Structure 1
Amino acid sequence: MRRAWWKEAAVYQIYPRSFCDSNGDGIGDLNGILQKLDYLQELGADVLWLNPVYDSPNVDNGYDIRNYRAILSEFGTMEDFDRLLSEVHRRGMRLVMDLVVNHTSDQHPWFISSRSGRNSPYRDYYIWKDPSPGGGPPNNWGGCFGGPAWSYDAGSGQYYLHLFTPEQPDLNWENPAVREEVYDMMDFWFQKGIDGFRMDVISMISKGGYADGPLRPDGLYGDYTGQCANGPRVHEFLKEMNRRVLSRYDCMTVGENSAVTPELACRYAGFDEGELNMVFHFELVDVDGGETRRWEREHSWKLTDIKRVLTRWQTILDGRAWNTLFWGNHDQPRPVSRFGDDSTEENRVRSAKMLALCLYLMQGTPYIYQGEELGMTNTRFTGIAEINDVQTRNAYWERTERLGVSHEDMMRVVNYISREHARTPMQWTDGANAGFTVGKPWIALNPNYPKINAQRQLGDPDSVYHFYRKLLSVRKKSDTLLYGHYQLLLPDSEEVYTYTRTLGGEQILVVCNFTGKEAAYSLPGGWAGAELLLSNYGNPCSGTALRPFEAFALRHSG
């Protein structure tokens, strides 16, 4: 398999608003990130991915961009960004930006001009349609965050498309001028020296059928993925982007791809396709309905479903494309609260380590979201007034007011699945405001920060943080873990996830107990006495049962 730096790297995702505040205004910023670079380097992060830091009105926390070539003043200045980039590179790390080009802010100059009249030279930068014959929207698509996906502009008598909030109008990628603007902007950042892009909802840039009338029965949420994801020209557009911009740089690209399958991933990120390096898929975080049934009252998952998803992606992509490995991100709740057990301190620590060992020793690039290396947990919300996230707020009001879901039932769902959990501030110390800020935090802290924080874990060699350090070090030193083939063992077990990685004459066995109780298990023949690479208990099981949340990796050669 062809080697590449982005295949061997570990990526650390930073949500700047919640990472570290350097000036006391309660909002994380670029200089705050700069202060923590040594921490990230010590952890073993090779690449830093920044969620959007561009100028924005912040309707959707930076994913509504007003100026692609300016830094939001709350985060600092372009000079601050340049200094951060220089210091990242000085430490031998790389920096990846978020690319948000499915839509802009409605305050972007392009859209301001576009809605000024049908004769505007920027009118065709966005998707405008006449009303339906009945006088309503062109079709009944619903937005991702609730409500209709079309907003009426009385001045021109047309509707514009927005798959997210009305303040996030979708760009018209059918217009070559739009694509030229995007490519030029990307080149601007590459010329500054950045090392790649994570591409927000990139599989939605080619829309299909948006003028063809009603597409589905009316409901709370429109099935936009069926017509707007993986559209008819998306691969054409991405190949053009690669040819015009990406191929000119030694960069890393990862696409956020809705409704993507392993087979489709091999088109988007196939080694010889000339599009992207990797894609994020959402099958893993949908094993409990977290994507397709996010706001329903009941959520549960089975280990066999997790195995099925991961095994499909590991086997189908092997030799054809490259995997991304992640349990969580800024749009997901905390993994240890979702797939592990945060009910006791002992279970939290062990299950956080187990989850990391299980996933990050597979083939692919690990993505660690800020705080996962500490085992940060979900917080608890008592009312919707505590929530800033537009997706969660819209879902709460629609389901309580239109469907009659009770406040108590809806808050149970929010406390399980809301993406607001990932956005509480990073927990650095047990001091005031967890060391995140000396001011008032923009969002409430998780009250467990006196026990779960970086300062405490840095001094504890048995902490989740130090386990992550060891795990990333072990991974980077092993070609078998980087490039070896995956084979699932015990596919029907609902307690134990075990697999092998094999390359040449070397094999590595990974064993994980996903339960908080003992699980029956005996090592396969030939593995007794094998070299221990890593264990969350310090030593692997030696009998016929795994201890609660036990996880280890063994290696043998020949």
Structure 2
Amino acid sequence: MDSRQRQPSSPDSWWKNGIVYQIYPRSFQDSDGDGIGDLRGIRQRLDYLVALGVDAVWISPIYPSPMADFGYDISDYCGIDPRFGTLADFDELVQGAHARGLKVILDFVPNHTSDRHPWFIESSSSRSDPKRDWYLWRDPAPGGGPPNNWLSNFGGPAWTLDPRTGQYYLHSFLREQPDLNWRNPAVRAAMYEALRFWLRRGVDGFRIDVLYHLVKDASFRDNPANPAFVPGGDPSHSLLPLYTADLPEVQEIVREMRGVVDAFSDARGDRVLIGELYLPLARLMAYYGLDSEGVLQGVQLPFNFQLIGAQWQADVIDRLVRDYEAALPPGAAPNWVLGNHDKPRIASRVGPERARLAAMLLLTLRGTPTLYYGDEIGMTDVDIPPDEVQDPFEKNEPGRGLGRDPQRTPMQWSTGPHAGFSHASPWLRLAGDWAALNVERQQSDATSMLALYRRLIALRRAEPALHAGAWEPLDAGADILAYARTVAQRRLVVLLNFADAQRGIDRALLGERADVLASTHERPEGKHAERLVLHPLEGVALAVHGAISMPS
């Protein structure tokens, strides 16, 4: 495919009209035989991504790290961990991606560093060290013990005592991940310079890890109990994060970050910020940064994770989409996420047939879709035996099923040794079905999940109504999620049957003629003048002519 044909309609809209593909680098492609994926491996697979049809590659952390949390504990923000390669490998990857019309987005982890970062080593050396205030240090509570009741997201208290200096330091995650003090201007300056380091190397944007955690209460008040907490659940949810997350001061930092990346916008387009924000809808909208003059100064794409946790029912998702669309600030770009490295895979959550329906939903809603590697071939979670667990979350809370290893297993490329991922035994075991479920087999199967994703992505790219058009909810009866996508005189209707039985569609939705553009099932393209009957769990996208508006 000619890369020139893959460019979005205008340089400043690539992140609005395009598709983001997340790569967990340890698990995508190993090039050097150590069982761990790397940058050269990603570069080897760029043509696959072009053929799939995505626009941008988001790469999870590749910075130098002791790997206590597999790269989310960073010891150098301006380097590459040797496990993944070198800065030269990174530069070649960016060049190769750009030559193919692909954008490159890096993970940025600003809330915390590794405890082996030089900043923390200096900060912990003494109470009088110049970098002491770069982290959050507090005296023990009266009578001893942690300064307050704050909890780590990975289990246990969020405070660890440093015997040498007699103070506790805060870590919202592992004790090996001390939180930075974002109230300190020197910290902000250093982190913004790290962003500039990668922007100068051609990076097209950043996904910002736990953005809403950056600022903590200045008075270090106790978090209140969570009245909705169910005993036996994730212990970190037993308290409401009133004083540890989503504080108003975060918005100033977001505006500053936006200013840093905006300064690098050029003929290749805007640089994009994507915020990881597990927040209620009303609070999520605040991160677009709408000011009193109607200007959006925040992250361009506050991640919308609602589909990940939603009940897989037509009426539930219909209400979810309507509420999200209604809440968006004027001019804000929506986005949708089906899966990521922290949550169970979509095919495991809803089953393989419903995962096909989910693919059509993701790729026909209004807004930027994000795909997680392997979902396009229907990969599922893999049971990891206790003696093979790698994830520190599971190790800290064993037996609770909180670990994320199951959705981080190696990409299944072929029927060759180790699924074509590596010449050596992979860092995590492969799924039991890898010999049957892989890219190689699905490429030649027109009914495969991969073929479906490619058809849907190609349709989305070809139809302005899908990648840039308006969205309108429709009523098609029980168990059917229906909506229209329109631009100018072009009107598309998407019908998703969530039922395990056939469902008929009224002619009023089909107008004078409805041409089938895509289906999750084996349905030939054709014209339907009367009624359309959807198969169980089938989704269809139709081009409708002379449509009759239905009440919504």
Contact 1:210-1:227 within 8 A present in 2 as well: no
Equivalent of 2:442 in 457, 460, 469: 457
Equivalences for residues 341-356 of structure 1 within 5 A: 341=351, 348=352, 350-356=353-359
**Could you tell me which residue of structure 2 aligns to residue 111 of structure 1?**
120
**Could you tell me which residue of structure 2 aligns to residue 331 of structure 1?**
342
Distance 1:143 1:445 in 2: 30
Q: Is the counterpart of residue 477 in structure 1 residue 459 in structure 2? A: no
Equivalent of 1:258 in 278, 281, 288: 278
Contact 2:281-2:327 within 8 A present in 1 as well: no
Q: Is the counterpart of residue 553 in structure 1 residue 541 in structure 2? A: yes
Equivalences for residues 88-167 of structure 1 within 5 A: 88-167=97-176
Distance 1:477 1:544 in 2: 24
Deviates more, 1:196-205 or 1:533-542: 533-542
Distance 2:374 2:414 in 1: 12
Distance 2:373 2:320 in 1: 24
Q: Is the counterpart of residue 306 in structure 1 residue 321 in structure 2? A: no
**1:281-332 alpha-carbon deviations (Å, 9 max, x no partner):** 33332335xxxxxxxxxxxx54433322222112322743112211101111
Partner of 1:194: helix, strand, or coil? Answer: coil
Equivalences for residues 399-548 of structure 1 within 5 A: 410=400, 414=401, 418-490=403-475, 493=478, 495-527=479-511, 529-537=513-521, 538-539=523-524, 543=531, 545-548=533-536
Distance 1:366 1:353 in 2: 15
The amino acid that maps onto 1:229 is: A
Distance 1:334 1:510 in 2: 24
Contact 2:285-2:327 within 8 A present in 1 as well: no
Name the % identity. 39
Contact 1:497-1:512 within 8 A present in 2 as well: yes
**1:458-478 alpha-carbon deviations (Å, 9 max, x no partner):** 112232112211211211222
The amino acid that maps onto 1:230 is: D
Partner of 1:487: helix, strand, or coil? Answer: strand
The amino acid that maps onto 2:278 is: S
The amino acid that maps onto 2:339 is: G
Deviates more, 1:474-483 or 1:121-130: 474-483
The amino acid that maps onto 2:96 is: E
**Could you tell me which residue of structure 2 aligns to residue 285 of structure 1?**
308
Contact 2:511-2:545 within 8 A present in 1 as well: no
The amino acid that maps onto 1:312 is: D
Contact 1:498-1:510 within 8 A present in 2 as well: yes
The amino acid that maps onto 1:530 is: A
**Could you tell me which residue of structure 2 aligns to residue 389 of structure 1?**
391
Contact 2:308-2:337 within 8 A present in 1 as well: no
Distance 1:531 1:208 in 2: 57
Q: 1:200 to 1:530 in 2, by over 3 A?
A: same
Contact 1:262-1:313 within 8 A present in 2 as well: no
Q: 1:138 to 1:392 in 2, by over 3 A?
A: same
Structure 2: segments with no counterpart, 5+ residues: 1-8, 547-552
Tell me the CA shift for residue 90 of structure 1.
0.9
Q: 1:44 to 1:544 in 2, by over 3 A?
A: closer
Tell me the CA shift for residue 141 of structure 1.
1.3
Tell me the CA shift for residue 127 of structure 1.
0.7
Distance 2:512 2:520 in 1: 18
Distance 1:101 1:510 in 2: 40
Distance 2:376 2:60 in 1: 18
The amino acid that maps onto 1:197 is: F
The amino acid that maps onto 2:275 is: G
Partner of 1:225: helix, strand, or coil? Answer: coil
The amino acid that maps onto 2:262 is: L
Contact 1:151-1:159 within 8 A present in 2 as well: yes
**1:436-483 alpha-carbon deviations (Å, 9 max, x no partner):** 111011010001001110001111223211221121121122222123
The amino acid that maps onto 1:8 is: N
The alignment's C-alpha RMSD in Å is: 2.4
Equivalences for residues 178-257 of structure 1 within 5 A: 178-208=187-217, 211-213=220-222, 215-216=224-225, 220-221=235-236, 223=239, 225-249=241-265, 250-257=270-277
The amino acid that maps onto 1:46 is: D
**Could you tell me which residue of structure 2 aligns to residue 275 of structure 1?**
298
Q: 1:64 to 1:504 in 2, by over 3 A?
A: same
Distance 1:368 1:112 in 2: 38
Contact 1:329-1:369 within 8 A present in 2 as well: yes
Q: Is the counterpart of residue 14 in structure 1 residue 23 in structure 2? A: yes
**Could you tell me which residue of structure 1 aligns to residue 36 of structure 2?**
27
**1:484-503 alpha-carbon deviations (Å, 9 max, x no partner):** 2323234883x322112233
**Could you tell me which residue of structure 2 aligns to residue 365 of structure 1?**
368
Q: 1:166 to 1:528 in 2, by over 3 A?
A: farther
**1:177-214 alpha-carbon deviations (Å, 9 max, x no partner):** 00000111100100011111011011111222552245
Q: 1:147 to 1:533 in 2, by over 3 A?
A: same
Q: 1:269 to 1:376 in 2, by over 3 A?
A: farther
**1:14-38 alpha-carbon deviations (Å, 9 max, x no partner):** 0000001011110001111111111
TM-score by length of 2: 0.88
**Could you tell me which residue of structure 2 aligns to residue 344 of structure 1?**
none
**Could you tell me which residue of structure 2 aligns to residue 376 of structure 1?**
379
Q: 1:457 to 1:318 in 2, by over 3 A?
A: farther
Distance 2:26 2:544 in 1: 45
The amino acid that maps onto 2:107 is: D
Distance 1:365 1:302 in 2: 22
Distance 1:266 1:531 in 2: 40
Q: 1:47 to 1:119 in 2, by over 3 A?
A: same
**Could you tell me which residue of structure 1 aligns to residue 4 of structure 2?**
none
Distance 1:126 1:255 in 2: 22
The amino acid that maps onto 2:356 is: K
Deviates more, 1:310-319 or 1:262-271: 262-271
Tell me the CA shift for residue 358 of structure 1.
1.2
Tell me the CA shift for residue 80 of structure 1.
0.8
Distance 2:20 2:407 in 1: 17
Deviates more, 1:158-167 or 1:495-504: 495-504
Q: 1:396 to 1:132 in 2, by over 3 A?
A: same
Tell me the CA shift for residue 432 of structure 1.
1.4
